[in-house]
Structure 1
Amino acid sequence: MSETTYDDLLARVRELVATTEGRVPVVGITGHGGAGKSTLAERLAADLGLEEDQVVATDAFYATTCGPDAGMWEQCDWPLLEAVVRGARTGSERLRYDYRWWGGETGTEDHPMPPVLVVEGIRLLNDRTDAWFDLAVWIEMDPDAAGARAKSRNLLQGDDRAELDLWDTKWIPEGHAYEQQERPRERADLVLRAEG
């Protein structure tokens, strides 16, 4: 897959919105932790006139099994995320889901269904999710560089030493493993080089 630009991504999404009938198109944005997924999703949402809370992040779907010792595929509640995507693909008028954050906080999001559903998060392109997305985007950035950027960000957000150390012991190694196992660049429809 050759690399493209943000303007091309925006044009492709607008075309999807204009040509998809009877349901909401779904765009998946993935990359390693710290690669800029949330930033790209927020920019895309703003340019499409979506509300910030109409972007769905896998960070809202931590499984009850998540934690430092959980396996790479045990962090996300994949069935719950799939139900949200299925709702968009089957014509639901509401974007409604229960969330669970890393720290265990829970709640419910309930918003009008946007004209396009943007989903962003790590490990989003895999065997389970191949049929979920009308357009899949991979943000190209080495896991080590992305992890270093994420650690700097999280330090500014107030993460403690144990949380920051997880980047070296868990998140970055899992990023390498994910890229080798799932080949997300090859699964993606579009590849954008990370900014910064």
Structure 2
Amino acid sequence: MKKLNWQREHLWGGCILASMAHAIMVAHYPELSNEHSWDDINYNVQDSSGARGTITFNPNYVVGAFRNEFSEREYIDALDYFNGAPKEVNQLAVNETLQYLLDEIDGDTVPVITTAFWEGDVGTYSNDSFEDFIENGGFLIESQTKDIETAINEWKEYYDMSDSQINLLYSIFERKISNPSGEIILMDSEIKMIQSDDEEGLNESRISFAELGIKWEM
């Protein structure tokens, strides 16, 4: 096993930040609506080019699994990527994480992944080296694992975000981090900071914000 230098709180924050940038900018690019989403404790990410992954944030463990369609790895049982992990990690992977990575192999629907990691009391681990982890799907969360300022700059460049959109991102991110379970409502003035009048895009934006527990002022 290889230890990854990640901490749960930072990774969660990075995934929240990525999802918020997405929620703002999907109003302009509704065709990217599939790239970031949340389903309760599960963060789903994909690049629309053959790579996808899910990270499950359980109160006791974090489990992440990824599939890169262009990986040269042959199919193996998904749980083989969790060799050495606590049994609770395996159970969480089966019940949550891997349910988002199902595919058909020889007529059977099974989870298909090409790399994975897990985090518990003693740190974050993968059975891959960091380089192999990144190559086989982990590249999907490179920005999510960086410091917040660097990540914001990367999302700004990726989406070509305006100063107004970045200011909105800072504001809602700080509110969410300071009170993760608290209610957040975007006022009309904040919705205008999204700077979009595209009906389809704004609907996707509202959906993405709702997945983060952020409502729009009616």
- Given the two structures, how large is their TM-score scaled by the length of structure 1? 0.29
| Structure with greater strand share of residues | 2
Higher relative contact order (CA 8 A, sep 6+): 1
Larger radius of gyration: 2
- Given the two structures, how large is their TM-score scaled by the length of structure 2? 0.27
